[in-house]
Amino acid sequence: MPQNICCSGQLQNLSVMNNHLTGPIPKSLKTCKSLVRVHLEGNQFTGNISKDFGVYPNLDFIDMSHNKFYGEISQKWGQCAKLETLLIAGKKPYWQHTSRDCQC
């Protein structure tokens, strides 16, 4: 995936599922506050699930299933107020907080 995938800051929908993509998520994605829907599933992306992703105020759906992410799923995902679906099947991230820590 190009390192400058979100250089304009206007990207709303990102769908790169099942493309055999490898390596870390581009750092520019962390600053893409306009994201609404993200499909990353079925690739070989790597990286820390808490450190490599930002807070996306408009995000309502993200599927990161079947990649090689790791680490704790941070409480910052609770700051994504519109987030309805977070799919992480087949990964090793873990939730270290109680369900009460997740603010809806």
- Please write the tens of the pLDDT for every residue from 79-94: 888 989 988 887 565 5
Say what percent of the chain tops pLDDT 90. Answer: 36
Per-residue model confidence as pLDDT tens digits over 10-44? 889 999 999 999 999 888 888 888 999 999 999 99
The domain ranges of the chain are 13-96
- pTM for the structure as a whole: 0.80
Q: Is 79 left (phi over 0), alpha (psi -120 to 50) or beta?
A: alpha
